[in-house]
Structure 1
Amino acid sequence: MQISYIETIFNLKIMRRTTVKTGLDRLPGYISELPLGKTPGVLCHQASVTGELTFIIDFLMEMNIEPRAIFGPQHGLFGIDQANMVEWEGDFYSRVGIPVYSLYGKNREPTIETLSGLSSLLVDLQDAGARYYTYIWTALLTLRACYKAGIPVIILDRPNPIGGKIIEGPGIETGYESFVGLSSIPIRHGCSICELLSLLAGREGLESALYTVPMDGWNRDMLWTDTGLQWVNPSPNMPSPTAAFVYPGGCLVEGTNLSEGRGTTRPFELVGAPWVDAQDFAEELSRENLNGVAFRPCSFKPTFDKYAGETCNGVQVHITEKTEFKPVITYYTIIKTARALYPTNFRWAEPPYEYEFEKLPIDILAGGSAFREALESNTPASELEKSWHNNESRFRAEREPYLIYGYGRYHSVCG
């Protein structure tokens, strides 16, 4: 059936109506309500773009707002550097000569010197929806530093790429706080960055320093593909919304000697090692009958990181139904199966990991030893999942007052 010109125009209008406007896109309409001042700083990265893909610094300059300083998180301002203690140091943003300060080098929060003279600090970071994605903790450290310095922080909101509905996973046991989890939240938190930073500010009494510019058109049922926004890699190994969707589980593989697919075009979707039999691994995982996921046997050769230059055999994780897929319990099952099939080959990765030099990386990622101990005792996935319910319920209740967006609709709050 041929589609008419009128139908085409109608469909285009619908598409435009459903495109989410980020906090950055909406900033011009909020300027008069915000304590921006004449010398703001900016914490951002390469995914800090408008819906038209204009970089935040250029967008501000078009508005006749010239930032005094730029701060960048892990991976660098333009996502060049790899993960886990691969540090970078600042320079200048060459287009306009603004100094750039690293928050993933000798300092992981702004210093008094780098904050000097700033009237405010804009934060525009694309989160991935998982506790160990370090940008939320860089934002929290920045908020703490600005609160002490009497500098207002303005968070420009962005979509949670894996939705705002589902919460999954354990919190953090006391003593296991780290740069991949400075405060106890579930692994999959289901918040936008504004909502999460507001909650964390509430815990620490930092609310007076925090201002927010919400999105328009986003609701909790939306996944990234529903937003109408282009995907810009927020970090080197987050090349797609699919990578973000598996990441709350896939990152746990970093705590083992299995490859999580770093050094390939499918990081976190691929899991394997030279000593794995791909067919056996896939068949055993398929017998688990996990919801929303299928496992395809495959081989891959990482160009860097674990097993660089070696052929790894394993599986590709294919999401078949995103509303049913549970990444944390899925990758628990992947690790559990690998341990059972290859007990003489499987090992826990050794520290250091993200500036923790004593505790095992798997414990730092999972927020305590319980996850690893469940694997070592062959605890059924369903039993482990039940042990998370109280933590998930507490967090769901705690986050409720900080939620800006509803389900299948939205509302906006600023300040």
Structure 2
Amino acid sequence: MKVKTGLDILVKDKNLQSEFNGKVALLCHNASIDSTYTHAVLKFKEIFGDRFVKIFGPQHGFSTDVQDNMIETNHTIHPYFNIPVYSLYSETRIPTDEMLEGINHLFIDLQDIGCRMYTYIYTLTLLLEKCIDKDIQIIVLDRPNPINGIDIEGNILEKAFESFIGLHPIPVRHGMTIGEVALMHQNLWTKEKINLRVIKMQHWSREMFFEDTKLPWLLPSPNLARAESTCTFPATVLFEGTLLSEGRGTSQPLEIVGHPKIEAFSFYENQLVNSIKKSKLKGFVLRPITFLPTFQKHANAICNGFQIHITDKKIFNPWRVGQFMMRELYHHLGNDFKWKEPPYEYNYTHKPIDIINGSDKLRHWVENNEPVEMLDSFENLEAYKNQLNEIKLY
């Protein structure tokens, strides 16, 4: 049965719509559509008319057209809707008092991807914090976690490594919907609660990957054009902390990794085949490839590397596969492997790889060429799973 998102529920329920009588704002992006591919802004204009007064956009912009980290989006007046569009990835990532003035109900409709290193959940929680002393109701229109709500994977973020891609002590695959993130924030991460409401989905269950929902996929950020890419993202996002390409500037971003100094076939045959077998990691194949990035790292330089093909999502552990690939490539490339230097996501102190990992321990694991079995010691998830059980909506 096709899943109905929080937006779908709102669009179809006139009684629900009538509960929001004041001025309305919406935080949304390119993927904020209903099941008919109609954008939420069009639906809000239809439902709320002149009471719909402001739009907010997260990282990559309301139009989801801005590519890279720390590339900010300007505030503007929308040329068609003739209402302000405020960027929450601009000179500020927290809405100002002026931005929130005159709003009674602020709806949030963002497609998250279920991974800690993705900023939309922090745009959400910073907004919740800002509204502690505001008479504004926050309504989260819930959407699926595209990599399912059962599998929890990766280390818990350490407080010393907090950043805009990791503000809260959660694992890499956190297993929450964006509505559940809001509830966990209210339960655990704030001293004062706000007027929060989550409009639940219908027919979504935790074991679902995105293709199981039968919903249309639109890219929530410029390099996630395929729902399949969300499953490899927890592996390939790690390479943002290096000078290897994670495929930006190609037609397969965040599914491939490479570098001009790799000869992929010989590396695969002579080393990786045995290393993969020894690691006991399953549910994927690494295919040697050649690619040419057209922008970002190694733009217009031929790279060799690997595409991650998922053969069984149920046993594929992307965080572990990403750490494994990092270790193998670090020692294969030697002096040609470089960690990216700060700044990264407005952190000017720590190495970007440590910000991404939420710890420096994993970088040391890579550098010391330690066994895959040691990754178990970085995962201490029982307390987190108990916290998740307290706020689950589904």
With the length of structure 2 as denominator, give the TM-score of the two structures: 0.95
User: What letter is aligned with 1:187?
Assistant: V
Q: Please list, as runs of the form range in 1=range in 2, the aligned pairs for 1:229-308 lying within 5 A after superposition.
A: 229-283=215-269, 284-287=271-274, 288-289=276-277, 290-308=281-299
Say which of 146, 153, 156 aligns to 2:131. Answer: 146
Matched, 1:345 2:339: no
Aligned to 2:392: 403
Say which of 24, 30, 55 aligns to 2:7. Answer: 24
User: What letter is aligned with 1:175?
Assistant: A
- The secondary structure found in structure 1 opposite 2:181 is helix
The CA RMSD measured in Å over matched residues stands at: 1.4
Q: Please list, as runs of the form range in 1=range in 2, the aligned pairs for 1:185-200 lying within 5 A after superposition.
A: 185-200=170-185
- The secondary structure found in structure 2 opposite 1:342 is helix
Q: Please list, as runs of the form range in 1=range in 2, the aligned pairs for 1:150-169 lying within 5 A after superposition.
A: 150-169=135-154
Aligned to 2:82: 97
In 2, the alpha carbon distance for the partners of 1:404 and 1:22 equals 13
Deviations 1:2-47 (A, max 9, x none): xxxxxxxxxxxxxxxx110000000143854886332111110010
Structure 2: tracts of 5 or more residues without a match: none
In 1, the alpha carbon distance for the partners of 2:379 and 2:62 equals 37
Report deviation, 1:358. Answer: 1.3
Identity of aligned residues (%): 40
Aligned to 2:70: 85
User: What letter is aligned with 1:381?
Assistant: V
Deviations 1:337-389 (A, max 9, x none): 011211121111111101011100000000011110111111211211x1133
User: What letter is aligned with 2:10?
Assistant: L
Report deviation, 1:93. Answer: 2.0
Q: Is the 8 A contact 1:35 1:120 kept in 2?
A: no
Aligned to 1:356: 347
User: What letter is aligned with 2:23?
Assistant: T
Deviations 1:131-171 (A, max 9, x none): 01100000111111122222111000000111111000011
Aligned to 1:201: 186
Q: Is the 8 A contact 1:34 1:211 kept in 2?
A: no
In 2, the alpha carbon distance for the partners of 1:61 and 1:187 equals 36
Q: Is the 8 A contact 2:10 2:16 kept in 1?
A: no
In 1, the alpha carbon distance for the partners of 2:193 and 2:263 equals 52
With the length of structure 1 as denominator, give the TM-score of the two structures: 0.90
In 2, the alpha carbon distance for the partners of 1:241 and 1:308 equals 25
Query: How many matched pairs?
Result: 386
Q: Is the 8 A contact 1:297 1:314 kept in 2?
A: yes
Aligned to 2:204: 218
Give the 3 Å change call, closer, same or farther, for CA 30–379 of structure 1 in structure 2.
farther
Matched, 1:63 2:47: yes
- The secondary structure found in structure 1 opposite 2:159 is coil
Structure 1: tracts of 5 or more residues without a match: 1-17, 406-415
Q: Is the 8 A contact 1:281 1:338 kept in 2?
A: no
